[in-house]
A and B are shown apart, each in its own frame.
Chain A
């Protein structure tokens, strides 16, 4: 059980973590999400006493980390996979850490086997790949067989097999009744691993809820409507009818309409009443990735701007239909990177809007709801 109350850390004028309060409960994998620079690592470092909070406190099983009787037997942490002396062999590195808390030498060989580094035990860690470094870091965290485990970006640099292994390891550790707190910016990974999510942006808490709940709360889906091409006016008639009924309509490059704010049956009824034949009426549900992107949009620290070579591209953006008056989509900084949708999340790849602005109105509402 990790409990943070009003946790704040300032570096000079910059506030890295701002009044953060949350609980991480045993028996679950709790995902810790946020864009780069949102304060995830600083929070983790405060949990294990490497950084002193400017104000507030964080306790583990009721005690501040530095007052735990045998810290290593209570908390294991992987904060930085490269936090080893490159000239030392993997096994000696683990041994020196184990000896700090009187952990028997036998345990070193056990954790080496658990992470699959038996054959590299006598290698100097300088020659380790990023993935091997991550495994060694996980081994270090497991040395004390602790109740509370912290992992900062554990899957960085791992191959698909390694990612699967880490995922199963986390779930197994949590199933044993341990508290597992995993930070990541890989949404798709968290969707598969975490039962509970804590989302922060610019050091502030954005969400603290179950993964399913988070998706339900934050993913505003849309409906794609395609009027029959046989009727040239059909699309416009339908668009006007939908707008009048309170839906927001955007036109996709291939002529389909993207409707938000109306239920599918309602759209069908309106089309029927307007006498427009439909070729497509399909629901599109946002993934965790999209829900997360929407929530953290305003909290993204490092935003990229458009590459000026854009004129080389034949861009065909989502157009505002003729019957909509005036530009209504507010400008929102465009997030620079969209990871692919999670495999197996309903099997439906979502269509990412090329301009996040069109989703901004819903994003604002939901972000305020959860705060």
Chain B
């Protein structure tokens, strides 16, 4: 395959004994998994997630009595920790890609694997599965502990779909993490991307409250107040705040985050594919 040159003592073109498989997504997944488990920031962020969710959750379980669970579900104690823990998930999402940009590793990666979409897809898959498993495990540990400790008659009836809601809440947090990864891919700067994500989580309640002050935009303000991240999460975990009229359904909350995340992910594919790194 190498053209011959004019020099007579030209050695033959080199051929290597190593196997040459066509690289596929599985290879990239293995590589991303190795990357994820080989740095300490993964341990720190996931550790922080599990510690806050389980720690705060179990603390609540020990301090509550059966009667408290009449109006809330068994998984609600996990919510308080998760409100903090979601930040850890977002940080991990940002670091998954932004740390490669910060260190220049991304150039080594894309030189070894010029099909950037394969690498990016592997990053999304490995991160989202890891984040979902870690979140769900810690939430369910708290939920099961609450159920075992407080399933007395005073707690009232509990339907199975509150567990489904908690799982949807974990999915919600995972999607926030995926959004963080997409923002990280777009911004390429850890601190900047984390700041953006903190804004996404904390600003809507403030802005919504501000908007309700003015008559003209008050409906928009109320809509924002009902659909932002903390409210949606509370609702998925069985805490209804019904002082603002009919609350949006769980499905619509999930749909909103899916649309935003989907758009950001699509944008990240376009930008990463075209950009000079």
Contacts and interface: CB of A to CB of B under 8 A. Distances in A.
A1 B2 contact: yes
Contacts of B274: 52
B115 interface: yes
A65 B103 contact: no
Interface in A68-123: 68-73, 75, 77, 79-80, 82-89, 92-93, 95-97, 99-104, 107
A321 interface: no
A186 B243 CA distance: 74
22 contacts: A26-B10, A26-B14, A45-B107, A61-B1, A65-B114, A66-B114, A66-B115, A68-B114, A83-B103, A83-B105, A85-B35, A87-B40, A96-B34, A99-B31, A100-B23, A100-B27, A100-B112, A101-B27, A103-B18, A144-B18, A176-B14, A178-B14
Contacts of B35: 85, 88, 96
Q: How big is chain A's contact interface, by range? A: 35 or more
A100 B100 CA distance: 15
A30 to B, nearest CB: 12
Interface size class of B (residues with CB under 8 A): 35 or more
Interface of B: 1-3, 5, 7, 10-23, 27-28, 30-32, 34-35, 38-41, 99-100, 103-115, 119, 274, 276-277
Top 10 A-B pairs, shortest CB-CB distance: A83-B104, A145-B16, A99-B31, A177-B14, A92-B38, A177-B11, A96-B34, A66-B114, A51-B276, A102-B21
Prevailing SS type, chain B contact patch: loop
Contact of B103 (A86, A89, A92): A86
A356 B239 CA distance: 81
Contacts of A93: 38
B14 A82 contact: no
A131 B21 CA distance: 33
Contacts of B27: 99-102
Contact of B110 (A49, A92, A175): A49
A63 to B, nearest CB: 10
Given A102-B21, A103-B18, 17 more contacts: A25-B5, A26-B14, A50-B107, A50-B110, A71-B113, A73-B16, A75-B111, A80-B104, A83-B108, A95-B34, A96-B34, A97-B109, A102-B27, A140-B108, A175-B11, A176-B14, A179-B2
